[in-house]
């Protein structure tokens, strides 16, 4: 099998350029990056398989997102943890200024951003830094394992050193040995995934949700009408039946809540035989009065307006 490894300059982490380099190469051939790669196996807790497929089929690189608290924590702690790793191992690791790529002639294109890297006289070492808000139990989660395999392929190493800073405020070093069989299996999985995407096909094992289908087709063609196959009629009948059942259950739910809350009255806690069964507490919230703000400050409001398109699916006869 023909393959090649190469490196490209790393743009600022999280920037639009960095996101685009992870999404596709200079010829706009799609790539799979290390951190979400477990999604192709449906093993990523934060990146659903169908969402990852939808992102790739859309053919548009993702936009920079505001960092979550957990992401910001990791970014802030990374330089400190890196220093600890160097002190503990005695290896002069450094943050690489390049991203590591691996392509095959069968259509696999992999890319990895490494936290720490050491290279000297043909010796290469990789460190992946993680901070977590729960104790380290000594075993890599599945989605970390796949990330490590992906990095090992791109960096041409057989071992990933994980530096895990956990909720006990301790740093744990864990070695992940990556076999040639694991690498071959992952490359084959990436080839199959990308080949399906490039043909505009749904990758094996992907089950679409309404949300991800809406991501794939975000804007309608107003004048377009689509004639559906006859078998679609059964699905419409099923959906009407489900909607009818849901409506009945929602009405029953509302009626039962009303009857029970009528019994509770002004109390906050309801009990039966002395055991709490429900609470009905008050909650005070503050809400921004957007309509009033726009009415009183139209010029200022206009500067902050963001236009988005969403699609609403309605059966004929429904409101």
From first CA to last CA, the distance across the chain in angstroms is 56
- Neighbouring CB atoms inside 10 A of 61's CB total 17
Angle at which helix 49-58 crosses helix 180-198, to 10 degrees, equals 50
> How many CB atoms within 10 Å of residue 1?
10
For the cut 90, the answer to whether the pLDDT of residue 217 exceeds it is no
Residue labelled with tokens 């350029």 = 17
For the ranges 74-78, 86-90, 104-108, the lowest mean pLDDT is seen at 74-78
Please give the pLDDT value at position 18.
97
Question: Within 10 A of 94 (CB to CB), how many other CB atoms are there?
Answer: 11
Greater pLDDT, 221 or 48: 48
Residue 261 — φ and ψ, nearest 5°? -70, -30
Per-residue pLDDT for 250 more than 70?
A: yes
Question: If DSSP codes are grouped into helix, strand and coil, which group holds residue 22?
Answer: helix
88: domain CATH number is 3.90.320.10
* Domain assignment of residue 241, given as a range: 232-277+288-303
Q: Where are the beta strands (DSSP E) in the chain?
A: 3-9, 32-33, 98-104, 109-112, 116-120, 123-131, 159-165, 171-177, 269-272, 275-279
pLDDT at 145: 98
Whether 232 shows a pLDDT value over 60: the answer reads yes
Place 317 in a pLDDT band, splitting at 50, 70 and 90.
confident
Same domain, 192 and 258: no
**Three-class secondary structure of residue 248 per DSSP:** helix
Residue 305: what pLDDT?
A: 84
Q: How far apart are CA 40 and CA 202, in angstroms?
A: 12
- Whether 131 is in a domain gets the answer yes
- What is residue 151's predicted lDDT score, i.e. its pLDDT? 98
The values of phi and psi at residue 128, to 5°, are -110, 125
pLDDT at 319: 63
| Residue 317 covered by a domain | no
Q: Are 172 and 203 found together in one domain?
A: yes
SS3 label, residue 30: strand
Q: Are residues 298 and 188 in the same domain?
A: no
Give domain status of residue 314, yes or no: no
> Does 4 have pLDDT greater than 70?
yes
Q: What are the backbone angles phi and psi of residue 292, rounded to the nearest 5°?
A: -65, -40
**Which position has the token pair 């429904």?**
318
The residue that leads in pLDDT, 316 or 250, is 250
> If we measure between CA atoms, which residue out of 191, 184, 204, 210 comes closest to residue 41?
204
Please tell me whether residues 52 and 180 are part of one structural domain.
Answer: yes
Measured CA to CA, the distance from residue 186 to residue 40 in angstroms comes to 10
- 96 close to 117: Cβ distance less than 8 angstroms: yes
Q: State the total domains in the chain.
A: 2
Distance CA 150, CA 178 (A): 10
Residues 183 and 260 in one domain: no
Inter-helix orientation angle 142-155/180-198, to 10°? 90
**What is the model's pLDDT at position 167?**
93
What are the pLDDT digits (tens) for 23-63?
A: 999 999 999 999 999 999 999 999 999 999 999 998 999 99
Q: Are 30 and 24 in contact (CB under 8 A)?
A: yes
Q: What's the mean per-residue pLDDT of the chain?
A: 94
Contact 30/198 with Cβ under 8 angstroms? yes
Per residue in 133-143, pLDDT tens? 899 999 999 99
Residues 112, 251, single domain; the answer is: no
Residues 169 and 241 both lie in one domain: no
**DSSP designation for 42:** T
**Residue 21 CB neighbour total at 10 angstroms:** 22
Measured CA angle at 310 (ends 305, 313), to 5 deg: 155
Same domain, 137 and 186: yes
Is residue 221 a part of any domain in this protein?
A: no
The pair phi, psi for residue 11, each rounded to 5°, is -80, 165
Per residue in 172-181, pLDDT tens?
999 999 999 9
Residue 1 has pLDDT above 60, yes or no: no
Are both 195 and 236 inside the same structural domain?
no
Question: Does 269 lie in the same domain as 143?
Answer: no
Residues 199 and 244 in one domain: no
């Amino acid at each position: 099998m023909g393959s090649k490894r190469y490196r490209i300059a790393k743009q600022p982490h999280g920037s639009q350029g960095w996101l685009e380099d992870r999404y596709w190469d200079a010829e706009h051939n799609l790539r799979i990056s290390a951190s979400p790669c477990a999604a192709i196996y449906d093993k990523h807790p934060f990146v659903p398989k169908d969402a990852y497929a939808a992102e790739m089929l859309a053919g548009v690189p993702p936009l920079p997102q505001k960092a979550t608290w957990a992401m910001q924590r990791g970014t802030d702690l990374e330089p400190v943890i890196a220093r600890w790793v160097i002190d503990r191992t005695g290896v002069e690791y450094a943050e690489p200024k390049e991203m590591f790529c691996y392509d095959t002639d069968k259509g696999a294109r992999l890319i990895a951003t490494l936290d720490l890297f050491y290279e000297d006289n043909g010796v290469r070492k990789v460190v992946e830094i993680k901070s977590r808000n729960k104790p380290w139990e000594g075993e890599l989660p599945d989605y970390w394992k796949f990330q490590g395999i992906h990095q090992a392929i791109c960096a041409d190493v057989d071992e990933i050193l994980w530096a895990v800073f956990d909720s006990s405020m301790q740093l744990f070093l864990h070695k992940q040995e990556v076999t040639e069989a694991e690498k071959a299996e992952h490359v084959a999985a990436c080839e199959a995934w990308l080949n399906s995407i490039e043909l505009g096909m749904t990758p094996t094992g992907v089950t679409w949700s309404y949300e991800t289908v809406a991501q794939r087709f975000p804007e309608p063609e107003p004048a377009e009408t689509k004639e559906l196959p006859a078998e679609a009629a059964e699905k419409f009948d099923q959906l009407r039946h489900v909607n009818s059942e849901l409506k009945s259950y929602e009405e029953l739910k509302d009626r039962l809540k009303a009857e029970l809350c009528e019994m509770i009255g002004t109390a906050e806690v309801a009990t039966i035989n002395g055991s709490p069964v429900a609470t009905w507490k008050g909650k005070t919230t503050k809400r921004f009065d957007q309509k009033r703000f726009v009415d009183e400050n139209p010029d200022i409001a206009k500067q902050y307006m963001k236009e988005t398109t969403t699609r609403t699916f309605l059966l004929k006869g429904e409101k």
